[in-house]
Each structure stands twice: as structure tokens, then as C-alpha cells.
Amino acid sequence: MNQTEAKQKVEELREQLNRYNYEYHVQDNPSVSDYEYDMKMRELVDLEEQFPDLVTADSPSQRVGGPPLDAFQKVQHNVPMLSLGNAFNEEELRDFDRRARGGVDEDIQYVCELKIDGLAVSLTYEDGLFVRGATRGDGTTGEDITKNLRTIRNIPLRLKEAESLEVRGEAYMPKRSFIKLNEEKEANGEEPFANPRNAAAGSLRQLDPKIAAKRNLDIFLYGVGEWQTSELGSHSERLEKMEQLGLKTNPEWQKCDDIDAVIDYVNGWVERRMDLDYEIDGIVIKVDRLDQQEALGFTAKSPRWAIAYKFPAEEAITKLKDIELSVGRTGAVTPTALLDPVKVAGTTVQRASLHNEDLIREKDIRIGDTVVIKKAGDIIPEVVRVLTEERTGEEKEYYMPEHCPECGSELVRLEEEVALRCINPNCPAQLREGLIHFVSRNAMNIDGLGEKVIAQLFKENLVATIADLYKLAREELLKLERMGEKSVDNLLNAIHASKENSLERLLFGLGIRYVGSKAAKTLAEAFGTMDNLQKASYEDLLAINEIGDKMADSIYRYFEEEKVEALISELKELGLNMEYKGRRKSEQASDSPFTGKTIVLTGKMESFTRSEAKQNVEDLGGKITGSVSKNTDLLIAGEDAGSKLDKARELGVEIWDEEKFKQALNA
């Protein structure tokens, strides 16, 4: 291929990949499978390596993150990024409405938008090309985080029209990404993020863009700083035009004719916000017409034509009764607060993570304290602060032990880790937690082997390793408390059935450091068999998409261990399947009823766990999302389906019950 042919092919691939990115990340409506996308991307990267002078800043290949930066450069905002005034109740919203109507002396329409709990950023485009991205900073001066923002796949590197403009929005971390990131950080003995907002901000302020690239960030654009060529007359028209340009706006915005409609919108989202896959902390209300915005003007700190309604804080006060320690399967020792039961964000909370000793010292948490707790990001119970004025003098300071609470081995703090760790490989707690992980739903999914049963088997010295589970005898189990003939038979049948699981479940169950369920499936699909994976070199592992340096090193070192080789051999002899049984992406049926569709699962199913149903859909080319929107093609509803079912009916989304889902899978 000569230079001219290569240039033509590169431009064609970029156009296709940009369109696929927009369909997948903005419209939630992909037109091609992940495999097809990956093949196109690989073809583009190969061509750019052969013809490096063809690489441009707007190429989809430039989203993986470049070399680390020395520091962030300062950026001046030509139009200040002002903060908004706040309203905390209906009366304050009506006061805002009276002031706005008094300032223009004519009817006003409002636009209501969800207030995303993330990091405010500015994106600048010149002739349609993304040239700079910056943080809000102090409103007039921010930091240049262009390289990190390039890694967010729904930020278009080139607009659909050659517009020059600066838009504002909120970069955020979806709940699922936040949970996964914190699980990884805690497993590695690192300080977890307190909430998704901090996680997003921390990710975008990394000097190494490759870190941001791995964190699955997202963005919604909601406003304009500068747009000199635009003749649009309202904020709602701007939102519609931004979407036409390929910029991702939040689909839940609504135009309201008066303040009563605004209040109805606000009240509706107070109830529904838990259904979203991202955090919101309120509603932003803006005067729609731009000429009215101009007439109302600004105070020194905020616009008079907009206000943020803030949701009531989901906090509660309770007593911290004690602190207990748990030892995880990687040896990390984690303190947990035991609380008097209290209701927070709709659930009763009795425990809250304290993460590590540094946090206990920083917040001066003592046993017997009266504390304020909240669900961090409405997800994880967390101690916010101590009410020191409530102290009686009977509270006790807490000190982490020097020795493992399970095996008595000396605890260590490894370099660059905040957690204390037990490094005894034979620690009973680590062995027990490893077994609990192995039998869990996303791993081998052995029904009937919960934490209590595993603990009982351990206590009676019936199991010490994974392989021991497959050697359990009926007579031994019948001697245990609360183990009748039927429950023993069911348990043994479940253990036997797990031998047929596909390879990815076994890989995840083994608990290889840094390997989650998604990475396990990637490895199983790429190598096909356990033998192939065991023989893989570090370079072979690194060549797999989504497997980074740290994970490749961990996997390679894991399979180098003699005891691991012995365990795998024993599991093979015991009859466990060592092959990938899933459908390869390249083999996905093009005529599947799920191919290319955006699908939401809700309610409880009798024949499938949620993860099994999700896996079935994805294996057949469908994409599962967490919330219903205008881009949803299909809702699959089990028993006790709630608000998602109501919204699907409201939007006219096709709805299937479990029986129809099963028929489609068997078609």
C-alpha cells in the first residue's frame, strides 16, 4: 500500500470508528459488535505505525493515553465558569421564579437538567477539532487536562460540523466503575475513593493519562462558554444542536412552562435518582431564552438566570459500638465500624467501612463515639465525622493490632500501601476468604456454599484448598449441623455441576490478583484453554486488548508458582473443565434477536441470575445498560419489576417477560 492509498484507508477507518464511538457511547445504540470495532481499530493502528506521518490528534487511536506529564499548564477561561446559587426547598425555588419574572417582566420558560456529581470541565473546539480541555479551577483559571479528557470515549475528537465553540460539562465516574475501582484499590491495600466525584476528579488530575484511560469515565455536556457563529435563541435549542454535533448531552432534560412544572420535575427525581447509573446531587434550573438570560445578568458569583436545587443530604446519626477486623483473601486487614442500626438512603445500616488505620486517626474515631454516617455516593456506608461535642469521656481510642487477628502472624505495611497486610500464605482467613470467593455467584456459582457453610467446613477441617471442595464425601457432610440428606445431596450436585463451568469462571474463582470477571472472560476467550494460558509469556498476555502491564505481570507470576501448577493439575484430575465454552465475538450470530440492541434487565428471574442473563445477551451481540432511556431497544422484565418497567411503558420501549426471553435464547 502506497502513501496515497494508506491516507485514503486511514481516513475511511477514522470516519467509521468515530461513528461507531458515537453510536456506542453517546446514543447507546451500537451498530457493530465489539469484535468488529476492535478489528477496525487494530487495522488503523497498524497503518499509523507503518505511516507515522498520517497520525493526527483527532485519530481514534489517540484515546489510550500518552506519556506522563511533568505538570498541568494553567488555562484562562475567556468566559468565567461561575458557580450557581442554591435552593434547598420549594419556597426557595418559588423565590427564584419571582425574581426571574420580575427581572424580565414577561412569561418565562425553564429548562431543568440533572445536576451530575462530577468534575466541571471545559472543552474547546476549533473548526470542529477538539484542541483543549480544562478543569473549572477557580472559575477564571483552570488546568489543561486535554490528554486525560481525550481518553473519555464519548468526547468527540472531531465534531460533525466544523464549528468553533467552547462547551462546558461534567465529567463523572459511573457507579459500576466506582465500585470496581474501589474493590481493586482495597484489594491492593490502597486508599479507596470516598465517592464517585472524588474518583472522577482524581482520575482526570493524574499526570499519567494512561491511568485516566483505564477508569471508564463518562461526560455530559450542558452549556456553552463561547459560540460566536451560533444564532440559536434558547438554551434548549443549544442542547439539541450540541447533540447534533456529536456532543453527549443528558437525555433527561425537560422544558417546563412554569415553576409548578419545575417543582414536579424536581420531586420526581428525588424518588428516581437511585435508578441512575451515575450520581446526581440535585437539579439545575435555567431560564430558557438567551435574551432573557442576558437581561437578568449576573451577580459577582453566579448567574441570576439559573439556580441549583440541592437534594437533602442522606445522612444519619448513630452510635459506633465497636470496631472489628476482617482479613481478605489478599491478606489486607480492614477495620469495620459496628453501629447501632440506622436507616440511610432507604436501607438499614449496621456496619460501615473504616478502610484503614490512617482514616481512623485522621477522623479521630473512637469506640463509643456518636457519629454521622452516609452512603458514599449512595452506595457504600461511610463514617463522615464524629460529633465530639457528644463525648462523655468513656470513649476508647482504637489501635490496630501488630499481629493478624486470625493466624497471629506479624502484620506488615508494604511499600506504597496504606493497609496492614498478613503475608502468611497459610492464614486461615485468607484461605477461607479465597474459598468464599471461589464459590461466589460471579465465579463458580456453587449454590448452597455460602459463608456460613464454608466456615463450618473449615472448622471441621474438611476443606483447606479449592480442590478439597471436590473431594467432600456425603457421609462427612451428613455429620454437620443443619445438614440433612436433601441439603447434602443438593450441595454435592451443585459442586459436581460446577465442574462443567466455562474456563472464565474458574479463572475468576482462582483469585489471581488484578483479574476481575471481565478480564477472566477476556483471557478465556483469547487463549481458549487453561493449558494455553499457562504457557503464555508476559508478552503474549500484554498483547491481549484490555490486559495492562500490572495485570500481565500478575498473571504470569501466578502461573509460574509450583503450588499453582499442582493445584491446576489436581483440578484437572478431579474433572473440572479447562476450556472456554462461550461464543467468540467473531462467532456471534448476526441474526440474533439481540445483535446491536441496547437492552435493560429488571426484576427477578427464576431461570437466570442477573449475571447469567447479562452474559447470554452479550454473547449474542446485545449491549446491557443500567437505565431506560429513549435509546433503549428492549426491556426484559422479571418478577417485581419496578420503576424501569414504568419508564419503558412510558417511552414505548418493547418489553419481554422471562418466558419470551428464554424462547429467544433457544431460537
Contacts 24+ apart (CB under 8 A), 342-345: 342/316, 342/317, 342/318, 342/373, 343/316, 344/314, 344/315, 344/316, 344/373, 344/374, 344/375, 344/381, 345/274, 345/314, 345/374, 345/375, 345/378
Q: What nine digits make up the cell of 512?
A: 489471581
Q: Do 192 and 182 meet the contact criterion of CB atoms below 8 Å apart? A: yes
Greatest alpha-carbon span in the chain: 86
Give, in order, the Cα–Cα distances in Å from 65 to each of 149, 180, 312, 549, 665. 9, 20, 38, 14, 39
Count CA within 13 A, CB hemisphere, residue 63. 23
Angle, to 10 degrees, between the axis of helix 34-50 and the axis of helix 3-21? 150
| Residue whose C-alpha is closest to residue 201's, from 124, 118, 143 | 118
Q: Do 333 and 326 meet the contact criterion of CB atoms below 8 Å apart? A: yes
- C-alpha 152/C-alpha 157 separation (Å) is 10
Q: Do 55 and 61 meet the contact criterion of CB atoms below 8 Å apart? A: yes
SS3 readout for 41-82: HHHHHHHHHHCHHHCCCCCHHHHCCCCCCCCCCEEECCCCCC
Q: What nine digits make up the cell of 588?
A: 456471534
Q: Which residues of 331-346 are buried (b: 16+ CB within 10 A; e: fewer)?
A: bbbbbbbebeebebee
Q: Do 559 and 533 meet the contact criterion of CB atoms below 8 Å apart? A: yes
**Coil/strand/helix, residue 595:** coil
Beta-strand relationship, 141-143 and 165-172: unpaired
- C-alpha 136/C-alpha 231 separation (Å) is 26
| Residue whose C-alpha is closest to residue 622's, from 584, 662, 592 | 592
| Residue whose C-alpha is closest to residue 159's, from 188, 136, 130 | 130
- C-alpha 595/C-alpha 587 separation (Å) is 12
| Residue whose C-alpha is closest to residue 650's, from 636, 635, 640, 665 | 635
Count of C-beta atoms within a 10 Å radius of residue 118: 25
Measured torsion, CA atoms of residues 100, 104, 106, 112, in degrees rounded to the nearest 10:
-40
55 Cα distance to chain centroid:
31
CB-based contacts of 31, cutoff 8 Å, min separation 6: 19, 20, 23, 596
Give, in order, the Cα–Cα distances in Å from 473 to each of 27, 99, 485, 492, 535. 54, 77, 12, 8, 34
Please measure the distance between the N-terminal and C-terminal CA atoms of the chain and give it in whole angstroms: 44
Beta-strand relationship, 366-367 and 347-353: unpaired
Q: What nine digits make up the cell of 395?
A: 470513649
- C-alpha 606/C-alpha 544 separation (Å) is 36
Would you please indicate which residues are annotated as catalytic (active-site) residues? 115
Q: Do 657 and 637 meet the contact criterion of CB atoms below 8 Å apart? A: yes
Q: Which residues of 491-523 are buried (b: 16+ CB within 10 A; e: fewer)?
A: beebbeebeebbbbbbbbbbbbbbbbbebbbbb
